[in-house]
Structure 1
Amino acid sequence: MDDLTFVESTLPPDGNGRRGQYLDLVVGGASLRSSIGEDLLVWASTPLQSGWDLESGLTWLTSLSRGRQVSLPAGRVALYVCRECGDLGCGALSVNIERCGSVVRWTQFGWEDDLDDKPWSAIEFPLEFTFQASAYDQTLRAARERVLASQSRTAPTGHLWWRKPGFVAIDL
């Protein structure tokens, strides 16, 4: 069985030299970002990024638990999204998550956006991970507690267009 953890990571510099803190996915002791390819994901982050909406991050953790993300056309779950806006129009690395008894499986990794008629396209090399459900759920609960403990209220400023008054952000 594989194991899942979250580790605080720093994004590589974007085109403007900005970096950001986020919680990265680690499977079997290796960053999933590195396993997929840093060059393929230089534009991406998990939704657990400093300065991002707390509620969206918590919703994402719930989608990892339930194996379905309502906002994705194929009912899959986005693992990495645009590091600037998180919008599906920019693309996402998504996965199919299945629960079967005491196991959770991640299969059919692929690229997805809401611009094409095709729901998603497979990555070049097949990946599949199997987790013990109880350990997987505990990891998601721990990540949720960590994100909740990091929250901060912030003014609606900056390049993140979705910030509104009273915005509660993740603050890693």
Structure 2
Amino acid sequence: MRSSLDLVPRVRPAERLGRDSRRSEVHFLDFAIDGRSLLDRMAAQAGREPDTVSVLWLKPPLGDNHREILRLLRQHESPLEDGRIPLYTCPECGDLGCGATTITLASTVDQMIWRDFGWQTDYDDTVDHDNYSGLGPFVFDRTDYEATLTAALALLPVPAPAPARSRRLMWWRRA
């Protein structure tokens, strides 16, 4: 049976955790499969609230959302050595070193398949599947899948170019 994929705006609210710590507010596009949030499915399965957000950040913009979409379309290589694709990352920094929910992304001529869900970092070869057993595989119609992700490109902020270095500030670096 084929599943449907939608991208739904979602907010991880800011929260004051103590005198000196807090959680940041993050706006992101969540993956909804067959009308149900994948993040909520993972939370229900794990028995706790998730503290991750999807790799598709709306506000504050973080990283290159277009590259993340291209990874999901199999048009850009994975940042992980094993080729797995990150779906959810740290809500504070988006760094894979904090850990990420990842998948194996497979494709055929007419299907895109998300399978083998797991938790991993970019510095360890181990993938922990404990909290993901029974999740997926999800098989999507390739045409619908590509249309959904391509349409998301218009919603996602383009990363700001790196600021140009001032020659005046670099006077000490003369070669």
**Which TM class, normalised by the smaller chain length?**
0.7 to 0.9
SS at match of 1:109: strand
Q: Which amino acid aligns with 1:122?
A: H
**Partner in structure 1 of residue 35 of structure 2:** 29
Higher-Rg member (1/2) = 2
Report the Cα distance in structure 2 between the residues aligned to 1:126 and 1:136, rounded to whole angstroms: 22
Instruction: Report % sequence identity.
Output: 28
Q: TM-score, normalised by structure 2?
A: 0.77
Asked if the contact 2:66/2:158 (under 8 Å) is kept, the reply is no
Distance 1:51 1:164, change over 3 A: farther
Unaligned runs of 5+ in 1: 154-162, 167-172
1:26-105 map, 5 Å? 26-37=32-43, 39=48, 41-42=50-51, 44-49=52-57, 50-53=59-62, 56-66=64-74, 69-105=77-113
Measure the CA separation in 2 of the matches of 1:20 and 1:68: 25
| Contact 2:30/2:37 (8 A) holds in 1 | yes
8 Å contact from structure 1 (residues 79, 92) kept in 2: yes
Residues 62-104 of structure 1: per-residue CA shift (max 9 Å, x gap): 0001076431121010000111111111000000110112011
What secondary structure is seen at the aligned counterpart in 2 of 1:108? Answer: strand
Q: What one-letter code is carried by the residue in structure 1 that aligns with 2:6?
A: T
Q: Which whole-Å deviations, capped at 9, do the CAs of 1:25-81 have from their partners, x for residues lacking one?
A: 111100000000073522x11122212246x11100000010764311210100001
Aligned AA for 2:42?
I
How far residue 164 of structure 1 moved from its aligned partner, in angstroms, is 4.5
Measured on the aligned residues, the alpha-carbon RMSD in Å equals 2.3
Contact 1:67-1:98 at 8 Å conserved across structures? no
Aligned to 1:108: 116
Does the CA-based 8 Å contact 1:63-1:69 persist in structure 2?
yes
Deviation at 1:10, TM superposition (A): 0.7
Letter in 2 for 1:7: V
List runs of 5+ in structure 2 lacking aligned partners: 165-175
Local SS of the residue matching 2:101: strand
Contact conserved, 1:68 with 1:97, CA < 8 A, in 2? no
